[in-house]
Amino acid sequence: MDQRVDNLIKNWQHRYISGIYCVDKKEAADRILEIIPGDASVGLSGSVTLEEIGIIKALEARGTNVFNQYRPGVSREEGLDLRKKGARADYYLTSANAISEKGELVFFSAYGQRIAGISSAKNLIVVCGINKITPNLEEALQRARQYATPLNCKRLNWASACLKDGICRKEICLLPDYKRMCSQVLVIEAETAPERVKVILVGEKLGF
Ligand code: SF4
C-alpha cells in the first residue's frame, strides 16, 4: 500500500474519521454496498467518481431508495426536492475535490447543497481516488480551485471565468458576467461523532 494511504488512515483515526482503503473501483463499490443496508435511504451529490465506480446504479438495481436528482426526466423542481430529501437521508454519498496528507477533506460547491448534505448527513461516505491526495491543505485548496473546478466547468458547460481556457480568475468570476462554480468551500478537519464519516480511498485515478 502507498505509504501516504497508510499515514492518512492513521491520521484520520485521530480525527474520528474512518478511512477504508480499496484497491480498485469494484472493491470500492462492493464495500459501499456492504456498508449501506438495503432498506436505508441514500442522498448524493454529482460526482464523476461516483459515476466511475457505478455505485448509484448498483444501489438502485438492488432496490435501495436513492434520492437521485440526476435520473433522466427529473424536472428542476423535483431535483431540488430530491436534493433536500437526500440531505436528510440515512446515508449521503459524495467525493472530495482534494484530500491533504494530514487528512483534511476539501469540498467546493456552487449553491451549497452539497455542503448542506455533507454537513448534516447522518452517515457520510466520501469516495476518493488516490489522485486527489495533496501534500498539504494549501495545495488541496489549490487543486480544487485551479484543477478540479475548471474541469468540472468544462464538463457541465458552466459559464464561469475559467470555462474557455481552464484558468481561474476568481477576482472577476462573479455575476452578472460569470457564473461562479466554486462559491462555497467546506474543509472537514475532524469529526465529533465516531463512525459518521467514512472515506473510501481507492488506489486508482478517479474523477478529477
Ligand atoms: S472562481 Fe470561477 S474561474 Fe475560478 S475556478 Fe472557480 S469557477 Fe473557475
Compute, in angstroms, the gap from residue 166 CA to the centroid of ligand 1.
9
> Which grid coordinates belong to 68?
437521485
pLDDT > 70? residue 67: yes
pLDDT at 1 over 80: no
Q: Residue 169's pLDDT is what?
A: 96
Phi, psi values for residue 131, rounded to 5°: -65, -15
Q: Is the pLDDT of residue 188 over 90?
A: yes
Instruction: Output DSSP code: residue 116.
Output: H
What is the C-alpha to C-alpha distance for residues 92 and 85, in angstroms, rounded to an integer? 10
**Ligand 1 close to Cβ of residue 160 (< 6 A):** yes
CB atoms within 10 A of CB 99: 28
What pLDDT, in 10s, does the model give residues 81-126? 999 999 999 999 999 999 999 999 999 999 888 999 999 999 999 9
**CA distance linking residue 103 with residue 126, whole number of Å:** 12
* Banded model confidence at residue 2, pLDDT cuts 50, 70, 90: confident
Tell me how far apart the alpha carbons of residues 130 and 6 are, in angstroms, rounded to a whole number: 12
- 50 contacts: CB under 8 Å, gap ≥ 6: 44, 56, 93, 94, 95, 127
Atom of ligand 1 nearest to the CA of 180: 7
Residue 128 dihedral angles phi and psi, to the nearest 5°: -150, 135
Q: Which atom of ligand 1 is nearest to the CA of 108?
A: 6
Candidate of 174, 180, 184, 185 to mutate for ligand 1, largest count of ligand atoms within 8 Å of Cβ:
180
CATH class entry, domain 3-202: alpha beta
Tens of pLDDT, residue by residue over 114-170, are 999 999 999 999 999 999 999 999 999 999 999 999 999 999 999 999 999 999 999
Q: Return the residue whose CA atom lies nearest to atom 1 of ligand 1.
A: 170
C-alpha cell at 113: 447543497
108 CA from centroid of ligand 1 (Å): 10
Q: Would you state the cell numbers that stand for residue 158, as one nine-digit string? A: 458552466
Residue 18: strand, helix, or coil: strand
* Residue from 107, 154, 160 to probe ligand 1 pocket by mutation (most atoms less than 8 Å from CB): 160
**Residue 80, Cα to own-chain centre: how many angstroms?**
18
Predicted confidence (pLDDT) at residue 184 exceeds the cutoff of 70: yes
Residue-range domain boundaries for the chain: 3-202
